[in-house]
Amino acid sequence: MTATAVAQESPMQTVPQVDLSRFMGPWYVIANIPTFLEKGAHNAVESYALNPDGTIATTFTFRQGAFDGPQKEYHPKGFVVPGTGNARWGMQFIWPFKGDYRIVWLEPDYSITVIGREKRDYVWIMARTPQIPAAKLDEILSFLKGVGYDTAQVQHVPQRWP
């Protein structure tokens, strides 16, 4: 059995603790294994805001197909899973279904994060800035491979801002 197969059978570990107030705000999507909605996305940004009831209002915006393509916007809602240090969420695009959303990487200064899924089918590498250093991206991709992701599927998300 390969190391990747073993990693895929192991539970997807999250970071131990997430300070939700620090995690809120905009995140640029640097790279991902895209869902069908995200294919061809440019200038993708995911923003979070903590609701009074503890849920997380999410706004996901991007340009479809090109930097001047049509603007798309989605508003899923996040639900923090109790007892997970705020690192596991259910993300709901359509009621009553909640997708698995795990914060598996978080820089100490909350500048870069990686959201994974137990199935290792989708992943999002996000940052507070539109670019991250190539060496950091390589480090993250190596980490993802080690936890069972097929990193050949990870795609760069074009970001160009004035």
39 with 51: CB under 8 angstroms? no
- Among candidates 90, 78, 100, 107, which has minimal Cα distance to 15? 107
**Candidate from 3-12, 90-99, 104-113 with smallest mean pLDDT:** 3-12
73 with 64: CB under 8 angstroms? no
DSSP letter string over 27-44? EEEEEEE--TTTTTEEEE
**pLDDT attached to residue 10:** 82
**What percent of the chain has pLDDT above 70?**
91
Give the Cα separation of 73 and 64 in Å (integer): 10
Mean pLDDT of the chain: 92
138 pLDDT tier (thresholds 50, 70, 90): very high
Q: What is the mean pLDDT of residues 63-70?
A: 97
1 pLDDT tier (thresholds 50, 70, 90): very low
Q: Which two tokens stand for residue 34?
A: 């895209």
**pLDDT attached to residue 99:** 81
| Residue 94 or residue 147, greater confidence | 147
Give pTM, 2 decimals.
0.92
